[in-house]
Amino acid sequence: MIHDGHCHVASTDFIPRAFLTDVAAGMHRGLSAVTTAPPLATLVERYVAQHQDHHADRLVAEMDAAGVSTAVLLVPDFGLVMSTPLSLAEMARRHHGIRTRHPGRFRVYLGADPRRGEAGAREFADLVDRYGFEGMKLYPPCGYSPSDRALYPYYEECRARSMPVFVHTGPTGRSLSFNPAHPLLVDQAARDFPDLVFVLGHGGVSHVDITSYLALYRRNVYLDTGGFAGSPGTGWPQRLNQLFRLGVNHKIIFGTDWPLNQLTGGLPRLLAEVCDGSEVFAGVSRGDRDLLLGGNLLRVLAPADRPARAGAGP
């Protein structure tokens, strides 16, 4: 049974159109380098059309077909850098509704931005408690370091609730900054909060030399494989196998970054190659395989599922 540690609701209600345009522009550049690409506007509209799964029904259908028991839904806070359709509070309410619609299938990591100040930290804590969410999602390319002291009140809230902090690392859309997404910028916060788990999103894909030694030498730092099937270079099964031979399998969380893998045939096809193919787990012990496909994620989550506050509406 697989537990996916990195997913999103494929919905334009939650993901800004500007961000989808950034992703489509990256696809357009890649296609243009090897063939005649469709117009950028066409790619944007195609990508937007793939993000109409507002209730996560299609995601759950793919999870069922692929043997995925549960998934973590990440809710980035883009609100200070991009026009977003909904407030963070409304996105939280809607994600609670998705969990109610699909009971037992999702955990939610709610977004935050330190520039919202102490009022933002209080709102974050209130929403987490109201809906029983399990973690925090940070997107430093929006313009802040994950070790910014303005985040420390948020980290205190996470520590009080035994919740992990998921931090995007590595490349992103063309309109956002790459500099704050370097994984070493997590190190100070990890040292200052040694009993708080930090998960380096995409750490199994980007800056692997750095993320792997952070995971090895910092007790509270993990990395995830989100986006592995869409990264450039040699075939991704080979890259995953190389990652799983670095000696840090107890600190790697398997994640797909759905809906990104819609472009590679969807979850059933992708996970069939992961689990049944000959390359990904070649030379990897059964025990390590179980940790990678879910055991590590379950270990970093709060000791028990956090119930929504009584009276929390859909």
Asked if residues 77 and 139 have their Cβ atoms less than 8 Å apart, the reply is: yes
Instruction: Check the CA dihedral 25-261-253-163 and report its sign.
Output: positive
**The listed CATH number (3.30.750.210, 1.20.1250.20, 3.20.20.140, 2.70.170.10) that belongs to domain 2-11+54-301:** 3.20.20.140
Cis before 259? omega within 30: yes
Name the β-bridge partners of 121: none
Asked if residues 268 and 66 have their Cβ atoms less than 8 Å apart, the reply is: yes
Task: Over range 23-38, report the average pLDDT.
Answer: 85
Q: How confident is the model at residue 263 (pLDDT cuts 50, 70, 90)?
A: low
pLDDT of residue 35: 87
- Counted residue by residue, the chain has a size of 314
Cβ-based neighbours of 122, under 8 Å, separated by 6 or more: none
pLDDT of residue 307: 57
Task: Over range 192-206, report the average pLDDT.
Answer: 97
pLDDT of residue 305: 53
Task: Over range 170-183, report the average pLDDT.
Answer: 92
What's the chain's average pLDDT?
Answer: 93
Q: pLDDT tens digit string along 225-244?
A: 999 987 665 689 999 999 99
pLDDT of residue 21: 92
Lowest mean pLDDT among 10-19, 112-121, 299-308: 299-308
Find the distance separating the first CA and the last CA of the chain, reported in whole Å: 28
Task: Over range 80-92, report the average pLDDT.
Answer: 95
Task: Over range 120-135, report the average pLDDT.
Answer: 97
More confident of the two residues 174 and 65: 65
Task: Over range 41-46, report the average pLDDT.
Answer: 90
Relative orientation angle of helices 57-66 and 266-276, to the nearest 10 degrees: 30
Task: Over range 65-87, report the average pLDDT.
Answer: 96
Asked if residues 301 and 261 have their Cβ atoms less than 8 Å apart, the reply is: no
pLDDT of residue 234: 61
Provide the residue ranges of all domains of the chain, joining segments of one domain with +.
2-11+54-301
Residues 126, 129, 135: CA angle, nearest 5 degrees: 100
Considering the entire predicted model, what is its pTM?
Answer: 0.94
Is pLDDT of 106 > 60?
Answer: yes
pLDDT of residue 23: 85
With pLDDT > 70 as the criterion, what percentage of the chain qualifies? 93
pLDDT of residue 30: 81
